[in-house]
């Protein structure tokens, strides 16, 4: 995909918009020629683009917030159908009349179906080209023939899935309509782990917070909630939106910020850190993600602080955490997950 994508991006002028999710990261890291504007729901992608001089904005695929219209939108399709439908729908409001939407994807991405749907929505003909294992679908927007919006599962709206017991969430974030089994296991350990007199001040970090499940569970254990401050952080714009709503709804004392594995959080600032690190990034499994989260946890934690990590049981935390934490204790092993306590003292 990257050869085709870089060729298309090179041909763009400053009126083009590149919608980049995690699958575009590799291209930015190796360097790319692109004169337009990048939009991503990933904080690390926006930072990487900005660092190499590409103007970029961070949002939950909020194309409509751009004041100018674009002559071309280049979009390697995302994994999640609701996002793809939302972007195709938004292209109608964001493209100039006769502007182009370019969809790129491998056969397994559903590109052929998206090409048909985009043609109807944009009032364009269907033009699908094969480039090696990739497909490129080109749509010229015709406002007078535009069709009805695609079903995007109400992409922009927050909602309260019954299973989340009152927490807000939305499509576009990891496991948005379920409680992660590993996270539940980690949260179940916390009651026994917190100081028995838990009325004192505590700075807590929720690293890779998602919609804020771990923050909500730990906040529920506070005897004096005003004494505890929770800083939740995530790379994903949808997660930040949902988590902020949950902090507001639950009256959690703290903040929700965007960062790359907690890059924005001060060193030596946390007494307690909770983390269920991401495993998959885009279509690949990114091997070093767990290590990066462990390194950042070691940086953020105070010397007398404790970090709690939950991971799939086959991830060798004791080996990965060696040299970062003096003590690595297994607290629970259940349902394919392991919960570890990591500390220096
Ligand atoms: C396994 S989920 C856990 C979510 C949440 N803590 C829970 O327990 O439900 C991992 C989270 O890490 C986030 N994430 C992925 N890459 C990240 C990065 N580079 N920096 C910060 N967060 C990231 C994902 O968006 C996702 O919300």
Whether residue 104 is predicted with pLDDT greater than 90 in this model: the reply is yes
Alpha-carbon distances, residue 270 vs 20, 151, 232, 251 (angstroms) = 32, 43, 12, 20
- Average of pLDDT values for 170-184? 96
102 and 249 housed in the same domain: no
Which residues form the domain of 137? Answer: 2-145
Q: How far is the CA of 278 from the centre of ligand 1 (A)?
A: 5
Q: What is the mean pLDDT of the chain?
A: 94
Is the C-beta atom of 103 inside 6 A of ligand 1? Answer: no
Angle formed by the axes of helices 81-94 and 111-122, to 10°? 30
Which of 168, 278, 281, 338 for a ligand 1 pocket mutation test, highest count of atoms within 8 Å of Cβ? 278
Residue 226 lies in a domain: yes
Contact 27, 21 (CB under 8 A): no
Nearest-angstrom CA–CA distance, 330 and 333 = 8
Q: How far is the CA of 277 from the centre of ligand 1 (A)?
A: 6
325 and 185 housed in the same domain: yes
The per-residue pLDDT for 130 is 95
Lowest mean pLDDT among 161-175, 199-213, 270-284: 270-284
Q: How far is the CA of 320 from the centre of ligand 1 (A)?
A: 19
Contact 82, 52 (CB under 8 A): no
Is the C-beta atom of 209 inside 6 A of ligand 1? Answer: yes
Nearest-angstrom CA–CA distance, 304 and 30 = 39
Nearest-angstrom CA–CA distance, 287 and 268 = 26
Whether residue 224 is predicted with pLDDT greater than 50 in this model: the reply is yes
132 and 186 housed in the same domain: no
Nearest-angstrom CA–CA distance, 327 and 213 = 26
56 and 192 housed in the same domain: no
Whether residue 309 is predicted with pLDDT greater than 70 in this model: the reply is yes
Q: How far is the CA of 154 from the centre of ligand 1 (A)?
A: 22
25 band by pLDDT with thresholds 50, 70 and 90: confident
Alpha-carbon distances, residue 42 vs 61, 234, 257 (angstroms) = 10, 9, 12
Ligand 1 atom closest to 44 (CA)? 19
Is the C-beta atom of 212 inside 6 A of ligand 1? Answer: no
Q: What's the pLDDT tens digit per position in 189-198?
A: 999 998 777 7
Instruction: Give 274-296 as a DSSP string.
Output: EE----EETTEE-TTHHHHHHHH
26 band by pLDDT with thresholds 50, 70 and 90: confident
Nearest-angstrom CA–CA distance, 56 and 3 = 21
Is the C-beta atom of 213 inside 6 A of ligand 1? Answer: yes
Residue 48 lies in a domain: yes
Nearest-angstrom CA–CA distance, 337 and 334 = 5
Three-state secondary-structure class, residue 38: strand
207 bridge partner residues = 233, 275
- What percent of the chain lies above the pLDDT cut of 90? 86
Measured by CA distance, the residue closest to atom 13 of ligand 1 is 208
Whether residue 157 is predicted with pLDDT greater than 90 in this model: the reply is yes
Q: Which residues contact 338 (CB under 8 A, 6 or more apart)?
A: 310, 311, 312, 313, 315, 317, 330, 332
306 bridge partner residues = 272, 343
The per-residue pLDDT for 127 is 85
Q: What's the pLDDT tens digit per position in 236-262?
A: 999 999 999 999 999 999 999 999 999
Is the C-beta atom of 276 inside 6 A of ligand 1? Answer: yes
Residue 281 lies in a domain: yes
- Average of pLDDT values for 293-306? 97
Q: How far is the CA of 101 from the centre of ligand 1 (A)?
A: 30
Which CATH number covers residue 325? 3.40.50.150
Residue 155 lies in a domain: no
207 and 259 housed in the same domain: yes
Nearest-angstrom CA–CA distance, 161 and 44 = 28
Q: How far is the CA of 210 from the centre of ligand 1 (A)?
A: 5
Is the C-beta atom of 214 inside 6 A of ligand 1? Answer: yes
Is the C-beta atom of 232 inside 6 A of ligand 1? Answer: no
90 and 61 housed in the same domain: yes
Q: How far is the CA of 127 from the centre of ligand 1 (A)?
A: 37
> Radius of gyration over alpha carbons of the chain, in Å?
22
Is the C-beta atom of 261 inside 6 A of ligand 1? Answer: yes
Domain count of the chain? 2
- Average of pLDDT values for 272-276? 98
135 and 174 housed in the same domain: no
130 and 279 housed in the same domain: no
Residue 77 lies in a domain: yes
188 and 129 housed in the same domain: no
């Amino acid at each position: 995909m990257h050869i085709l994508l870089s060729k298309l991006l090179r041909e763009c002028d400053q009126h083009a918009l590149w919608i980049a999710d995690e699958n575009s990261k590799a291209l930015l890291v190796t360097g790319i020629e692109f004169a337009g504007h990048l939009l991503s729901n990933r904080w690390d992608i926006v930072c990487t683009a900005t660092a190499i001089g590409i103007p970029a904005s961070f949002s939950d695929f909020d194309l409509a917030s751009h004041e100018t219209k674009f002559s071309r939108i280049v979009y390697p399709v995302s994994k999640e159908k609701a996002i793809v439908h939302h972007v195709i729908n938004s292209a109608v409001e964001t493209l100039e009349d006769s502007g182009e939407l370019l969809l790129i994807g491998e056969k397994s991405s559903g590109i052929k179906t998206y090409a048909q749907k985009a043609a109807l929505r944009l009032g364009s003909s269907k033009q699908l080209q094969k480039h090696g294992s990739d497909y490129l679908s080109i749509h010229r927007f015709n406002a007078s023939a535009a069709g009805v919006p695609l079903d995007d599962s109400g992409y922009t709206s927050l909602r309260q899935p019954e299973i989340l017991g009152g927490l807000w969430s939305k499509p576009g974030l990891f496991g948005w309509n379920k409680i992660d089994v590993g996270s539940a296991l980690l949260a179940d350990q916390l009651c026994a782990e917190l100081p028995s007199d838990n009325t004192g001040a505590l700075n807590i970090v929720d690293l890779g917070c998602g919609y804020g499940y771990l923050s909500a569970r730990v906040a529920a254990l506070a005897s004096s909630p005003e004494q505890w401050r929770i800083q939740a952080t995530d790379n994903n714009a949808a997660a930040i939106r949902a988590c902020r709503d949950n902090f507001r709804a639950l009256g959690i004392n703290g903040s929700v910020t965007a960062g790359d594995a907690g890059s924005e959080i001060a060193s030596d600032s946390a007494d307690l850190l909770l983390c269920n690190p991401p495993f998959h990034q885009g279509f690949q499994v990114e091997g070093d993600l767990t290590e990066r989260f462990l390194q950042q946890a070691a940086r953020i934690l105070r010397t007398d602080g404790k970090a709690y990590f939950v991971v799939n049981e086959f991830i060798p935390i004791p080996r990965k955490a060696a040299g970062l934490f003096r003590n690595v204790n297994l607290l629970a092993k259940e349902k394919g997950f392991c919960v570890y306590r990591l500390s220096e003292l």
